[in-house]
Each structure stands twice: as structure tokens, then as C-alpha cells.
């Protein structure tokens, strides 16, 4: 289609050029014939018309050709205007696109009027459109799974993942995660939960019984003679039960004290130890080396590689089996989620406002980021064009209209010639007579 269109434009341009040339030759023939016939009477008018027509045709031919190349191949001044000024044209075109198509304020105003959230809600309200989109997503997903079956792609992805894991500083990442988890004293909530869980555990009769049994067992093994004397007054099991209860009560009192006192020594020590460990994770080379050693051992374990490969294969098989069905559960859930989003957008004005605000903010940043890049790309592209290709492209685009300039130059020039001849023939003697 593109090749045929170009051929048609070339044929039309050549046809109009031939007509313009024919008009010039006709004017030249009329001029010669008028001169041969003496240039009197009717032929005087013919000569005036043809002479001016030739001048007009040649002048406009020169002007049209000078836009694209040097007329007759001679380097006349200010000719071959377009190829000679290609760099300036590229800069001006890029600037024009920048100022008129990528002006942030006008773009954002048009985008705000467009109301992206409302448009999205309207689009999602059409079940056929949502179904078409989810079907397309199914197709794209299946195609992506087919790509992943390519051994070359699998090797490349595996190498990329392996290299990324090798470069991954696990200790630093752990420190960052722990730092986020401890921000605003969140780690104290963990301590409180742990202490409460321990207190609940200590208060259970089963736990007390187990502690009592262990105390009795240990006492019989370590102090058999002393227990023989003590048992005269109180049995070992009763004494162990009492000690277990006392131990549980003492520990629960300590737990309550820690929970109630923000400045309790145990809590302060816990705070210091946690922050110190996090700092070491991010700074201590020995700890980081230890983390890296564990990481490398895991990466080199064949069991891990086999497990990951089998898990990946099972996941791909499950995804392919589901996405290949017309009643795909993934597609169904996606369809339902899109419809629910459309309903929520239609009913929730605040949500639409929030989405529009985020879209406009993202668009503002995108326009600023893209604006200079697009401008530079246009300028570089125009400057890199081959001169001959540039001339041919532009000539095919506007050359047809430029030939009408040559037509007009020939005809208008001839009419002006007739007017001047009439002025000299009748106007001057009339003026002289007055």
C-alpha cells in the first residue's frame, strides 16, 4: 500500500511537471512565431503575452527548483534551500513540536477536561469491552509462557537472576527491613506480644506441672541426701509444686513490670541490642560476609535448584492449563475485578477525583521528562536524514502544489504582459495627448 501510494505520487508529480514544461514550451513557441511574423497587430499582443509568460514560467521554475536543489546544477546563491538549512529546519521543527504539542499546561488542561477516571468507568461499564480485553490478556499471557519455553531465554533469565542474587547484599537488605520494622518503636510491640504470650504460658497448669516435675527430678538426682532430710517435713513433689508456682509468679511479676514501665532496664537493654544488631548488619563486614556465605551455599545447593526448577515448571503448567480454557479462572477473576472497579468508579466520586489527581501528577512529570527527549530526538533525526532522501520526500509531499505555482506564473505572467502592452500601446499615447 505504501509503495503504491509513493508510485502514484511520483506519477502525478511527473505529469504536472510535464504540463508546466509544456506551457513554457508553448509560450516560447508563441514568442518565436510572433517574432517571425514581425510582431505587428495580433502578433504584437501574442508576443507580449508569450514574452511575459516565458519570464514568469522561468522565474517560478527557478524559485520552485531552488527550494530543493541548485537550478541547472549551478550553485546560485540562496538555492537548494531545504538541504542547505536542514539543521536549522530540524531545530525549528523540534522547537515547534515542543512548544505546541508538549506544552505541559495545555496538555494537562486537556487531560483534566478528558476526565480519565470517568472515561475508564464508562469503558469498564461495557461487559463486551472488558471481555475483549481479558481475552487479549489471556492471549498475551499464553504467548509470554511460550517465550519462557525457549531454552535460550530460560538460560538468559537464569543467568540474570543468578547474577542479581550474587550481587544482592542480604545483610544490608535485612538491616533495611528491620529498620523499617523498628521505626516508631514497632519492635516494642513485638516484645510486648512475646512477654504476654510467655505470661499466658507460665500461668497454665500444664506448664507448672512440667516445671514442678523437672525440679523434682533434678533435686532427686543432685541432692538425694538433703531430700531425705527435707522429706521428713514435706514431700519433694509438694515442694516442687510450690517452687514452680513461686517461679511462675515471680516471672509474671517481672513481665508485668516490663510491660508497665517504658524505661524498664530489660526494655532499654532490648532496645539497645536490637538497634546495635541492625547497625552491625549494615556496617559490619564480618556479618555481611557471613550472610553472603550462607546465601552462596544456598545458591549452590543442587536441591534448591531442582526445587525451583520443578516449582517453576508446575506453575507454568498450571497457568497454561488455566489460561488455555475458555472458562479460565484467572480470566474470570480478572473480569470480575475489572467490572467491580468500573462499578466502584461510577459510584465513588472521591475515588475518581483521586485517580484523576494521580494521573495528572504522573502526566505532568512524564511530559517534563519526555519533552526534552522528544525535542532532541526530532532534531537529531532530521539532521541525520540523507539530503537526497529528504528532498525526494518533501518534493513528493508538496511538489504537486508547487507545480501550480509554475502554471500560475506562466498564465499570470502572460496576462501581465498583455496589460503592459496595452498600457504602452494605448495608455502612453493617451497620456501624451493630454
CA dihedral 379, 384, 389, 393 (to 10 degrees): -10
Q: Which residues of the chain have pLDDT under 70?
A: 1-4, 219-220, 223-234, 236, 428-434
DSSP letter string, 61-129: HHHHHHHHS-GGG---TT-SHHHHTHHHHHHHHHHHHHHHHS-HHHHHHHHHHH-HHHHHHHHHT-HHH
pLDDT for res 91: 84
User: Closest Cα to residue 129, out of 326, 320, 342?
Assistant: 342
Q: Tell me the domain boundaries of the chain.
A: 2-84+386-433, 115-149+304-347, 173-300
pLDDT for res 2: 46
pLDDT for res 229: 61
Q: Do 126 and 347 touch, CB atoms closer than 8 A?
A: no
pTM passes above 0.85: no
DSSP letter string, 11-49: HHHHHHHHHHHHHHHHHHHHHHHHHHTTS-THHHHHHHH
Q: Do 387 and 86 touch, CB atoms closer than 8 A?
A: yes
pLDDT for res 55: 93
pLDDT in tens, 119-177: 888 888 888 888 888 989 989 998 988 888 888 888 888 888 888 888 888 888 888 88
Distance between terminal CA atoms of the chain?
69
Amino acid at each position: 500500500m505504501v509503495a503504491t501510494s509513493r508510485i502514484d505520487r511520483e506519477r502525478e508529480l511527473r505529469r504536472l511537471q510535464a504540463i508546466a514544461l509544456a506551457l513554457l514550451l508553448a509560450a516560447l513557441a508563441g514568442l518565436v512565431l510572433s517574432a517571425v511574423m514581425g510582431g505587428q497587430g495580433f502578433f504584437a499582443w501574442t508576443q507580449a503575452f508569450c514574452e511575459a509568460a516565458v519570464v514568469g514560467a522561468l522565474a517560478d521554475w527557478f524559485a520552485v527548483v531552488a527550494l530543493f536543489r541548485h537550478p541547472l546544477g549551478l550553485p546560485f546563491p540562496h538555492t537548494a534551500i531545504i538541504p542547505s538549512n536542514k539543521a536549522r529546519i530540524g531545530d525549528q521543527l523540534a522547537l515547534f513540536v515542543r512548544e505546541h504539542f508538549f506544552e505541559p499546561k495545555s496538555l494537562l488542561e486537556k487531560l483534566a477536561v478528558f476526565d480519565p477516571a470517568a472515561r475508564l468507568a464508562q469503558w469498564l461499564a461495557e461487559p463486551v469491552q472488558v471481555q475483549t480485553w481479558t481475552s487479549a490478556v489471556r492471549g498475551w499471557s499464553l504467548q509470554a509462557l511460550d517465550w519462557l519455553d525457549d531454552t535460550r531465554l530460560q538460560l538468559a533469565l537464569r543467568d540474570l537472576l543468578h547474577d542479581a542474587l550474587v550481587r544482592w547484599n542480604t545483610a544490608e537488605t535485612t538491616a533495611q527491613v528491620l529498620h523499617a520494622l523498628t521505626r516508631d518503636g514497632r519492635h516494642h510491640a513485638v516484645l510486648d506480644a512475646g512477654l504476654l504470650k510467655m505470661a499466658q504460658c507460665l500461668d497454665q497448669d500444664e506448664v507448672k506441672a512440667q516445671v514442678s516435675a523437672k525440679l523434682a527430678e533434678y533435686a532427686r538426682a543432685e541432692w538425694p541426701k538433703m531430700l531425705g532430710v527435707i522429706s521428713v517435713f514435706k514431700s519433694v513433689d509438694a515442694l516442687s509444686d510450690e517452687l514452680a508456682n513461686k517461679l511462675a509468679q515471680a516471672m509474671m511479676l517481672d513481665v508485668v513490670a516490663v510491660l508497665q514501665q517504658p524505661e524498664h532496664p530489660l526494655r532499654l537493654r532490648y532496645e539497645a541490642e536490637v538497634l546495635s544488631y541492625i547497625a552491625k548488619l549494615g556496617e559490619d563486614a564480618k556479618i555481611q560476609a557471613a550472610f553472603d556465605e550462607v546465601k552462596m551455599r544456598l545458591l549452590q545447593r543442587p536441591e534448591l535448584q531442582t526445587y525451583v526448577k520443578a516449582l517453576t515448571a508446575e506453575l507454568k503448567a498450571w497457568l497454561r492449563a488455566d489460561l488455555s480454557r475458555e472458562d479460565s479462572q484467572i480470566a474470570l477473576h480478572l473480569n470480575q475485578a475489572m467490572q467491580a472497579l468500573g462499578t466502584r468508579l461510577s459510584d465513588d466520586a472521591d475515588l475518581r477525583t483521586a485517580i484523576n489527581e494521580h494521573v495528572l501528577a504522573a502526566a505532568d512529570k512524564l511530559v517534563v521528562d519526555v519533552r526534552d527527549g522528544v525535542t532532541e530526538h526530532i532534531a537529531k533525526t532530521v539532521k541525520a536524514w540523507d539530503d537526497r532522501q529528504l528532498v525526494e520526500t518533501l518534493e513528493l509531499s508538496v511538489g504537486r502544489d508547487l507545480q501550480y505555482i509554475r502554471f500560475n506564473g506562466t498564465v499570470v505572467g502572460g496576462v501581465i504582459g498583455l496589460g503592459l502592452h496595452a498600457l504602452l500601446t494605448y495608455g502612453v499615447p493617451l497620456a501624451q495627448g493630454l
